[in-house]
Structure formats: structure tokens, C-alpha cells
Structure 1
Amino acid sequence: MAWLVLVVSGVLEAVWAVALDRSQGFTRWGPSLLFVVALAASMAGLALALRTLPVGTAYAVWVAIGAVGTALYGMAALGEPVTAARLLCLLLVVAGVVGLKITS
């Protein structure tokens, strides 16, 4: 159950990162509110997962899900460049986190 909570929290990290960008410096109410709610839920989920998971592994997984998710969203929805190098770098992030999970 802790892993499921951690994955959902990582996805919420990507949500709050995108909402933060869309808030335009907290000048837009909708994205600003989404940012606050997603941030609080993401942190609460991480805290809950840390009750049973090792902090180093859990934090790395949480950050990686958020970072990779945000980057993929940027490429898919915001017109950010999709290059082989960028995709390879994201794959390396995922590989590193999988390696941490396997060896913990």
C-alpha cells in the first residue's frame, strides 16, 4: 500500500509543478489553488509512505516520478522539444530509481 501511495504522491508532484507554472507567479487563481491542493496532498502522501519505506529510496522514487512526469507532460502538451537525448536522459533517471529500489 505504501508504494501505491508513493506513486500517487509522485504523480501529484508533477501536477503541482505544472500548476505552479500555469499560475504565472500566483496571479491566476485556478492553477494557484490546484498547486496548493496538489502540493499538500503530495507531501502528505510522501509522509505516509515514509512510515514504512526507506527515506532514500522513497524520496528518489517520488522525485523521479514528479520530474519524469513533468518533463513528459511538457513534451506532450506544452510543445517542449522531444529529442532522443532528452528521452534517454529520462530513461536514465528511471533506471537509476529502479536500481535503488532493487538494491534496497
Structure 2
Amino acid sequence: MTASWAWMTLLVAGICEVMYASALPRTQGFTRLWPSLYCLFFIVLSLYLLTLSARYLPIGTAYAVWVGIGAVGTAIYGIAYLNEPAGVARLVCLALIIGGVAGLKVLSPSG
């Protein structure tokens, strides 16, 4: 795996995190079978892809980017589909997270 593949794998891992986090409310505390299985599948896939990318990227960078993608993606999902507030301050904070993730990518030794 090359560094560019590691970054792509990390992006997919972050998307998988958004997939499971956005479905968590539908599990009703993991008491509903199908939403719970959906969540568990994407949790396992997300962590697996994170571990693959961490073979080639610094773990601190990989983890921070993974969490950032998950946090921003889940917040955007909440705003778009769950009618969560999208105030200016909240959007600025999300932009700061995106800036931090982009900075980690740019400044990563594996580029």
C-alpha cells in the first residue's frame, strides 16, 4: 500500500464512522437487531480500515483525521437530516476541524 492508498483508506474509514454514528439513534441502545447489526458492521469496518492506514501513516495523524472526518460528517448529517441547529458558531467550529484535518494531511511526513 502506498501513502496515497493509505490516505484513501483513511477517508473510507472516516466515512464508515459517519455511517455507524448516524445510525446509532435507530438502534435504541442496541435493542433493535437490524440497525444494531448495521452499526456493528460499520464500526468493525471503520476500525479495520483505520488500522490498515495506520501501518503507513503516523498513528496520531491517522487517528485525528479519522475522528475529524467522523465528527464533521456526523454533524453535517445531523444538520441535513435530523434538523439539528446550523448556527454560525457551529459552522465555524466545523470549519476549524476541517482546517485542522487538512493541516494534518499537508504536514504529514507521508504527505
Deviation at 1:72, TM superposition (A): 0.3
Deviation at 1:75, TM superposition (A): 0.3
Name structure 2 gaps, 5 residues minimum.
Answer: none
Question: Which residue number corresponds to residue 61 of structure 2?
Answer: 57
- Please list every run of at least 4 consecutive aligned residues from structure 1 whose deviation after the TM superposition is greater than 4 angstroms: none
Name structure 1 gaps, 5 residues minimum.
Answer: none
The one of 6, 23, 29 aligned to 1:25: 29
User: Using the alignment, how far apart are the partners of 1:30 and 1:19 within structure 2?
Assistant: 10
Give the stretch that moved more between structures: 80-89 or 39-48: 80-89
Question: Which residue number corresponds to residue 85 of structure 2?
Answer: 81
Deviation at 1:102, TM superposition (A): 2.0
Question: Which residue number corresponds to residue 100 of structure 2?
Answer: 96
The one of 3, 21, 27 aligned to 2:7: 3
**What RMSD, in angstroms, separates the aligned Cα atoms of the two structures?**
0.9
Number of positions where the alignment pairs a residue of Structure 1 with one of Structure 2: 104
Q: What's the TM-score once normalised by structure 1's chain length?
A: 0.95
- Secondary structure class of the residue paired with 1:44: helix
- Counting aligned pairs with the same residue, the percent is 55
Q: What's the TM-score once normalised by structure 2's chain length?
A: 0.89
Deviation at 1:2, TM superposition (A): 0.8
